[in-house]
A and B are shown apart, each in its own frame.
Chain A
Amino acid sequence: MAVSVPVAPGQHMTSPIPARAGIGLRPQHYADILAQPAKVGHKVGPGVGWLEVHPENYLTAGGPQHRALTAARQLYPLSFHGVGLSLGGEARPDPAHLARLRALNARYEPALFSEHLAWSSHGGAFMNDLLPIPYTRSALDRLVEHVDETQEALGRQILIENPSLYLRFEASEMRETEFLRELVLRSGCGLLLDINNVFVSASNCGFDSCAYLADYPLSHVREIHLAGHRTEVDGSGAEVLIDTHGSSVSAAVWALYRLVVRLEGRLPTLIEWDQDLPDWRILLAEAASADRILAEEAPHAAVA
């Protein structure tokens, strides 16, 4: 397996992602985001430092979302967060999908491109859910190949995000943190640390969030995700946390975020809110909370 990072992160884009809070761009907020004060150089006024979108929502010939993203791209640095490559799956990433993503990258030049430690397609059908994988040697070998192939096809490093787990596989041979560390070493990919996912998985699978973070290869993190979750009861009557992206970030997740920033310094931090979208001002307030923690815990670091 070639250890290759085809293109260093940062080489592609016109403006890098600053180490401050960003927001997922949703059609409901196009008007609000485009009415924000324009950035001057790479500095953006109070509010939001960068934007993230799911590239799969933009794989169309045209339409209003392309018009909005083209306009937003002039004002903010942009990150792509893929949800369709099924890198953890049995099959190789679909070459046709990779080619479309490559063309979209060329059009919008996102500064970061991330995907998931999960699978979502099998036998040619797409399941629209991020499904868990067993942490086995064979699953790791295959994932390394898929990440490698994706990085070759896209001509850039990608980031891999830790999943939110509701269950685990008896067959697993490694901890998730070990699995990710080997993946990074062997594929040259970077990491997207979703702190809400750590908290949700820890609660659902019975491990300790702080112990997870202590064992996690933090120095390879290029981006952080924060989101809300909800508590439900599963079929056996046990409590289960659901990663909904539909509410504000919980106090416990903010506390873990503070710990990560203290350990690793400033990092681009996305407020992910995909369901039951709130008013734009509520998203701005969440972003301001992240920026405040970055300033308090890493006061001497420069904002990119």
Chain B
Amino acid sequence: MLPSPEPYADFAGALWATERAVPMGLLPAARFALHRNNVYASLIHCLKARFPVTVRLLGEDCFGQCARHFVEAAPPRSPVLMEYGAGLADFLAGFAPLRELPYLADVARLEWLRHAALHGAEAVPIAPAALAEVLPERMPDLVLALHPTAAILSSPYPVLSIFRANAVAGELMPVAAGLPGETMLVVRPEESVQLLPLSVAAAGFLRALERGLTLSDAAEAAGMIDAAFDLAQALAPMLRAGLFTGFHLANSCERN
């Protein structure tokens, strides 16, 4: 039997589907397995490097098996592997064998946000003291620009605590039982990614700022979520984390 003149579809199909027969016309046919292994092993390796804490929580072998299912279901659509893995968290959330570990998908979601922030657009943050130059009576009208790498993750699980306890290789560190859900900010203002725990009100405050609301309007929205929201107390760690890249006064051309 003559091999197909254009072997690509056969070759690619048999690479992904390990149960399919080796394509005709390859010498020696036994070597086809090398390519098949390369495809899966290299993509699983890429995911392992991108989700190190998820790997630690699941164990190398178990993560490898989950990643294999993910690769099979959602192979990369682009040769830029820096973009591969965005869908892993959703995949893990719907993966039946992991039902007993409901927090795992959000840990993977946090790791993806860290990866995206690390390789996101550059912007120079304002110094924490920069707002001190604004006249107190004009503060309410201030509009703050968020860093382009900023992202918020809200989880019903203590994901930041789990991530931090297991961020360094070593023995698995369990977190205390019964911890509440956590909300966190991810931003990469300089060389490294910053993680900042947020109250639910602070997250609402940031979402309002992101929509372009003034400081006072955003603080008011946060106050509706939690009457105890304190603007100055919330802003200080955000400024230190390098979250803001500039500010201007609403209805004004002045920008900083």
Contacts and interface: CB of A to CB of B under 8 A. Distances in A.
7 contacts: A122-B9, A125-B12, A125-B75, A126-B78, A128-B39, A131-B15, A168-B26
Given A61-B148, A89-B8, A171-B25, 6 more contacts: A122-B11, A126-B75, A166-B31, A169-B25, A234-B28, A238-B30
B177 to A, nearest CB: 37
A110 interface: no
A254 B46 CA distance: 31
Given A61-B120, A129-B39, A122 B34 contact: no
Given A166-B34, A234-B30, A122 B80 contact: no
A159 interface: no
A43 interface: no
Interface string B186-205: 00100100000000000000
A204 B188 CA distance: 47
Interface residues of B, number: 44
Contact of A170 (B8, B12, B27): B27
A138 B27 CA distance: 20
Contacts of B81: 56, 126, 128
Interface stretch (A78-86, A184-192, A220-228): A78-86
A121 B79 CA distance: 8
Please name the 3 residue pairs, one residue from A and one from B, whose CB atoms are nearest each other, closest first: A84-B79, A122-B12, A63-B119
B122 to A, nearest CB: 4
A65 B27 CA distance: 41
A128 B46 contact: yes
B173 interface: no
Interface in B17-46: 24-35, 38-39, 42-43, 46
B198 to A, nearest CB: 24
Interface in B128-152: 148-149
A208 to B, nearest CB: 17
A128 B43 contact: yes
Contacts of B78: 84, 94, 97, 126
A235 B30 contact: yes
B59 interface: no
Contacts of A131: 11, 15, 35
Contacts of B5: 136, 138, 171
B16 interface: yes
Interface residues of A, number: 48
Contacts of B39: 127-129
B34 A242 contact: yes
Interface string A143-170: 0000000000000000000000011111
A90 B81 CA distance: 21
Interface in A5-53: none
A124 B77 contact: yes
A250 interface: no
A242 B27 CA distance: 16
A233 to B, nearest CB: 10
A236 B30 contact: yes
Nearest to A88: B8
Interface of B: 3, 5-9, 11-12, 15-16, 24-35, 38-39, 42-43, 46, 75-82, 118-122, 148-149, 188, 191
Residue among B29, B46, B119, B121 with max Cβ neighbours from chain A (10 Å)? B119
A235 B31 CA distance: 7
Contacts of B26: 167-170
B33 A62 contact: no
A105 interface: no
Contacts of B15: 127, 129, 131
Given A60-B82, A128-B42, A234-B28, A119 B8 contact: yes
A170 B4 CA distance: 10
A240 to B, nearest CB: 6
A89 B46 CA distance: 23
Given A62-B122, A84-B79, A128-B43, A167 B8 contact: no
A56 B79 contact: yes
A123 B18 CA distance: 17
B77 A125 contact: yes
A61 B188 CA distance: 13
A120 B119 contact: no
A56 B81 CA distance: 8
A206 to B, nearest CB: 9
A3 interface: no
A44 B26 CA distance: 47
A166 B80 contact: no
Contacts of B191: 64, 67
A246 B34 CA distance: 17
Interface in A94-148: 94, 97, 100, 119-129, 131, 134, 136, 138
